[in-house]
Amino acid sequence: MSLRKTPAAAPNGHEVSLADRKLEAKEQYDTTEGHFSLVRNFRLADLVTIANGICGSFSIFMSAKYLVTSDEDYLWSALAFPLAGLFFDFLDGKVARWRNESSMIGQELDSLADLPFDSRMPRSPFSTQISFGVAPALLAFVVGFRTYLDTVVLTGFICCGLARLARFNATVASIPKDAKGKAHYFEGLPIPSSLGLVAVLSYWNSQGWIEGKQGIPWGTITLWGKEGGDGELHKFSIVFGLWAAAMVSKTLRVPKI
């Protein structure tokens, strides 16, 4: 997850600077008239953040198109869009610092919480969750994780990703930082790490190890009932479950590069 840096603190402290910044952004929003005033309040960094969500949305639609048509071009597109989302995820914070500007809409896109003791603000989970939570889970379903228990695990994966992002917004101020304000580590796996699973699915697709071809590696286990029933689970779904648990772990600390 990228972080956008706020302007330097005012002489009276960061709290005053942040409050002034929010007040200025609100006044700017209130004084902009017209049918497209919302769009005119967007800044370049806000558009980059939205582009991340667009990539995730396109991945979802391409997955749906593949299910309807079985055209592999759509599946490859669906696998590629989350990677493009990662590019925009890294870029939005850099653009915000380069432009040194903010908007009221951008604050909501970029933050769900005020952090008066930190020079950085966390981002909203919405676009990140689409690209790195929902899209990878749907891709897993598309390539063959389609049993009842598979969908339970994938739903848990999405929910853990959302919880991971919410916790990041709530706790980022308390994580130790260096002199430049950069956190020393992530608590739990950052949600963009789900692209590692997307990479695995991409490799499987290149080898034909997907539903409708050779099938998913490792096969299935039946926890109850008959084979092919609600108790069947793909063994690799356990990896998705462990990945979800790692995202919400408090004791797992991933060093920031």
How confident is the model at residue 178, as a pLDDT?
Answer: 74
Is residue 7 situated within a structural domain? no
Is residue 180 situated within a structural domain? no
Is residue 86 situated within a structural domain? yes
Is residue 94 situated within a structural domain? yes
Q: How confident is the model at residue 114 (pLDDT cuts 50, 70, 90)?
A: very low
Q: Domain range for residue 210?
A: 43-173+186-248
Is residue 17 situated within a structural domain? no
Contacts of 104 (CB under 8 A, 6+ apart): 22, 25, 26, 28, 29, 41
Is residue 134 situated within a structural domain? yes
Is residue 37 situated within a structural domain? no
The percentage of the chain sitting over the pLDDT mark of 70, rounded to a whole number, equals: 67
Domain count, the chain: 1
Short-list 227, 126, 115, 229, CA closest to 173? 115
Is residue 19 situated within a structural domain? no
Q: How confident is the model at residue 5 (pLDDT cuts 50, 70, 90)?
A: very low
What is the pTM (predicted TM-score) of this model?
0.78
The 10s digit of each residue's pLDDT in 189-216 is: 988 999 999 999 999 999 999 999 999 9
Question: Is residue 76 pLDDT above 50, yes or no?
Answer: yes
Over range 68-75, report the average pLDDT: 97
Higher pLDDT, 42 or 230: 230
